[in-house]
Amino acid sequence: MTLLTPEKPVVFFDGYCGLCNWFVDLTLKQDKNHVLLFAPLQGQTAQSLIGALELQNFESIILYDSGKIYRQSEAVLRVLKHLGGFWKIFAVLAFVPSSWRNALYFFIAKRRYRWFDKKATCRMPSSEERHLFLP
């Protein structure tokens, strides 16, 4: 199945990860203008837009924005920038070398299931959220 290229940025997340689901919940709550869409890394949209080679592990939040793919700490910072308001303050972290940011990112990512739980099933959107989620 070929999916159309979305007009809004898409946040791809590990649907089984407690920390990733917390990040999605926070983002949904703060995204007052609904500028972001969401899709699990395990889903059809990820396969279509990102491709199987990019999806060999699920240790990264991925942001697909205007045809570009952002991973790890860069993806998180760009998501926060899209939220605007208070969240833009985190843009200052872009001045920290990406190698340092990503080292911290992977330190947490490697332990996320242990620290934040691993769900038995992918996160399912509520009926109010359904229009913001892609398969």
| Residue 72 covered by a domain | yes
How many domains does the chain contain in total? 1
pTM value?
0.84
Confidence of residue 58 (pLDDT cuts 50, 70, 90): low
**Could you tell me if residue 93 is inside a domain?**
yes
The CA-based diameter of the chain, rounded to the nearest angstrom, is 40
Beta bridge partners of 62: 12, 71
Residue 1 domain-assigned (yes or no): no
Residue 5, in any domain of the structure: no
Q: Which two tokens stand for residue 122?
A: 């992918």
Half-sphere exposure for 28 (CA within 13 Å, toward CB): 18
Domain range holding 48?
10-132
Read off the pLDDT band of 61 (50, 70, 90). confident
More confident residue, 122 or 38: 38
Name the average pLDDT for the chain: 84
Give the per-residue pLDDT at 52: 57
Instruction: Judge contact between 135 and 45, C-beta under 8 A.
Output: yes
Q: At what angle do helices 98-116 and 72-83 cross, to 10 degrees?
A: 90
Classify residue 94: in a domain, yes or no: yes
